[in-house]
Amino acid sequence: NAGVMQNPRHLVRRRGQEARLRCSPMKGHSHVYWYRQLPEEGLKFMVYLQKENIIDESGMPKERFSAEFPKEGPSILRIQQVVRGDSAAYFCASSPGTGSSYEQYFGPGTRLTVT
């Protein structure tokens, strides 16, 4: 039973480029969460999505960041015009649509480096 999958695992972008991070939830999970981990810090919540809906984006920066979880395919976190401060590890988590929605299962993360 495959876990949460994220790709790419490592991504290098120059300042001003776009970064696209992908997340495939565990089989049977319909809720996806994105978190960001800056060096030497804990994870910070960014956004919570269900299929075709953004439920809570209170942790998303107001500009340049967007997320989607389409009916088909993986969830995408998109960062436009990246800056050095966007360098971080981005983790996706998923949970079932019912019951213990708080029990989140994490992917291995995408480590973004902005040069």
Q: Which positions lie near other proteins, rule CB under 8 A?
A: 4, 6, 31, 33, 35, 41-45, 48, 55-56, 58-59, 91, 93, 95, 100-109
Q: Which C-beta is closer to other proteins: that of 86 or that of 109?
A: 109
Closest CA to 93 of 80, 83, 103: 103
Q: Which C-beta is closer to other proteins: that of 14 or that of 102?
A: 102
Q: Which C-beta is closer to other proteins: that of 66 or that of 106?
A: 106
Token pair for 94 = 């998923």
Q: Rounded distance, CA 13 to CA 15, Å?
A: 7
| Residue 106 neighbours by CB under 8 Å, 6+ apart | 4, 91, 92, 93
**What is the closest distance, in whole angstroms, from the C-beta atom of residue 8 to other proteins in the complex?**
14
What is the separation of C-alpha 18 from the centre of its chain, rounded to a whole number of angstroms? Answer: 15
∠ at Cα 7 (37, 55), nearest 5°? 60
Q: Rounded distance, CA 64 to CA 71, Å?
A: 23
Q: Which C-beta is closer to other proteins: that of 13 or that of 31?
A: 31
**What is the closest distance, in whole angstroms, from the C-beta atom of residue 33 to other proteins in the complex?**
7
**What is the closest distance, in whole angstroms, from the C-beta atom of residue 18 to other proteins in the complex?**
24
**What is the closest distance, in whole angstroms, from the C-beta atom of residue 58 to other proteins in the complex?**
8
